[in-house]
Amino acid sequence: MSAATCKVCQAPVTIRKTGRPPVYCSSGCRRMREHDIRRANGAITALENALQYYRFDGRIKLRDDEQQAAFVASELIAARKKLRALLD
């Protein structure tokens, strides 16, 4: 993606002669990205809490709990990758 396209909608952005190069075509796209980042952070927090419930509170007793903990861990990895992509 070139510096002349919006990171959200891929629309062209107006390049200014001075200052930092623009990343978004409008404040709406900037707000949408901020909202996506907040949602991703919330999802990561919820997954970390769930993983802590399964792993650190000594509650893993059944096979299903182990499977659930593995699922939550994989979801946490995916959520972190999504957040990293949003922040790039």
Rounded Cα–Cα distance for residues 31 and 43 (Å): 18
Question: What pLDDT is attached to residue 32?
Answer: 94
Rounded Cα–Cα distance for residues 80 and 88 (Å): 12
Residue 63 has pLDDT above 70, yes or no: no
Mean pLDDT of 8-25: 90
Question: What pLDDT is attached to residue 59?
Answer: 58
- In the numeric block, the tokens 């070139």 are attached to 2
> Per-residue DSSP letters for the chain?
--TTB-TTT--B-PPPSSSSPP--SSHHHHHHHHHHHHHHHHHHHHHHHHHHHHHTSS---SHHHHHHHHHHHHHHHHHHHHHHHHH-
Tokens representing 71 are 């699922």
Question: What pLDDT is attached to residue 31?
Answer: 95
Residue 62: pLDDT band (50, 70, 90) is: low
Residue 16 has pLDDT above 90, yes or no: no
